[in-house]
Structure 1
Amino acid sequence: MSPIIPSLEVEAELLRAAPVVIGIDEVGRGALAGPVAVGVCAVRVDEVAVGYPEGLRDSKLLTPKMRARLAPEAQQWAFASAVGYAEAAEIDELGIGACLAAAAVRALGDLWQAGVDIERAAILLDGSHDWLTPGLSSPLAVTVRPKADRDCAAVAAAAVIAKEARDARMIALAEAHPQWAAYGWAANKGYGSAVHRDALREHGASTAHRRTWLHRILTSEPA
């Protein structure tokens, strides 16, 4: 069965009432280590008319090689894009829901700095729950759409950009801390692979782990 090809139909409809649509998706929500990342991708009538980069899909359906090619193409296509982060310590302190919103607000702030009219934008959020609005200081027009990362090109672009950016951060974190090599972050990007879980049981948690997430795995003191 062929993967569903995203379109710009939802974005075009939203642009009837707003000057810009901002697709939003998160990456790293279920990881055991590292930050959660939220990608934002702003498109206007001009970007919709041009059409999205060839091959753009839900980031989960793309190979690493395809994502590496598409991320810069998606950035060039977008009117503006950004990635916001919330670190592991914040997730432990505030919870993942609040940190998703915080990371999104940081990314939206970058879009505002780039000249995107955030207040008048239509926000297109992947998922079935509006985790963004509780973190906003003033309301925005948020449309929540399940499978938007699959069906809507602006959201797919946001996801691909965020995935590449977060993966690069996890690889850099692994390279900067060779003492954490056993966790295998260059390969698993902080997710709970068998290698990662075995290393946690043997070595305990690092300062980059979400320690409140590890009670079923971790039995030793943090490294």
Structure 2
Amino acid sequence: MAGVDEAGRGPLAGPVYAAAVVLPPLTAELLYSDTLAGLTDSKQLNAGRREVYFEVLVSEPDILIGVGWCSAAEVDEFNILGATALAMRRALENLPQSADHALVDGLPIKGLPCAATAIVHGDARSLSIAAASVVAKVKRDRYMEELDLHYPAYGFAANKGYGARSHIEALFRHGPCPEHRRSFRPVQDALQFFPGLLE
């Protein structure tokens, strides 16, 4: 059984990421009594704790991890809900071994490659979903830090694409970059001042 969660539904820029994590029961029990104690929803953890948990998860050979993502262009094409579902499907498909069932944080998701159960606030109630939330968040944050090297004006390393004041100001000063989600309102508003970018 795989826990599945996403990171990056709300930002104005960058991809939406998803992760699927299979925790074998004995491994989960041993790790939770030691190195994974306190693992919960990634939003409740600071960046340092997320990195620690991430390294434990990816270094444990019995833990299966799949990651999927949808680009900003795909978010615009499919809308954020459709892109999130597609990223989750890709994460499940990228597991080293197929999962027969998925526990998904939040509301039901259609089109997954296996049976699924949706759990509201699942990232705080299921260890495998919490693990998936950490993997998705760390992978996305690292991607945004790389994007910052290509588009330094927007502060992606710090704001991770979210609508921080400095990010909004840069958006209206420089116009959107190719990694901005043009279907999101602040980006649409900024585009009005840069008609050459509307195509």
After TM superposition, the score normalised by the length of structure 1 is 0.79
Q: Which residue of 1 aligns with 2:160?
A: 189
The CA deviation string for residues 85-111 of structure 1, in whole angstroms up to 9 with x for no partner, is: 100011111211221121112111211
**In the alignment, what sits opposite 2:101?**
122
Query: Contact (CA 8 Å) 1:204, 1:220: kept in 2 or not?
Result: yes
Secondary structure of the residue that 1:212 maps to in structure 2?
Answer: coil
Take 1:145 and 1:51, find their aligned partners in 2: how far apart are those partners? 23
Equivalent-residue separation in structure 1 for 2:11 and 2:52 (angstroms): 24
Is the counterpart of residue 75 in structure 1 residue 54 in structure 2? no
C-alpha separation between the residues in 2 aligned to 1:102 and 1:148? 19
Tell me which amino acid in the other structure corresponds to 1:30.
G
| 1:165 pairs with 2:165 | no
- Among candidates 183, 206, 215, match of residue 188 of structure 2: 215
Correspondence 1:89 to 2:86 = no
1:18-37 to structure 2, matched below 5 A, reads: 21-37=1-17
Which range is displaced more, 62-71 or 45-54? 45-54
2: CA distance, partners of 1:50 / 1:65: 22
Q: Deviations over 1:144-178 (max 9, x none)?
A: 11111112111010000111100000000111x1x
Q: C-alpha displacement at 1:81, in angstroms?
A: 0.7
Amino acid at match of 2:103: L
C-alpha separation between the residues in 1 aligned to 2:14 and 2:167? Answer: 13
Number of corresponding residues: 190
**Rounded Cα–Cα distance in structure 2 between residues aligned with 1:47 and 1:168:** 27
**Aligned equivalents of 2:93, 2:46: Cα separation in 1:** 30
| Kept after mapping to 2: 8 A contact 1:37/1:166 | yes
Please report the RMSD computed on the Cα atoms of aligned residues, expressed in angstroms: 1.8
Quote the Cα distance in structure 1 between the aligned partners of 2:164 and 2:138.
19
Measure the CA separation in 2 of the matches of 1:51 and 1:167: 24
Distance 2:51 2:23 in 1: 21
CA drift at 1:126: 0.4
Query: Partner residue of 2:118?
Result: 144
Residue 83 of structure 1: SS of its match in structure 2? strand
Q: TM-score, normalised by structure 2?
A: 0.88
Secondary structure (helix, strand or coil) at the match of 2:86 reads: helix
Question: Secondary structure at 2:183's aligned position in 1?
Answer: helix
Distance in 2 between residues matched to 1:143 and 1:109, nearest whole Å: 17
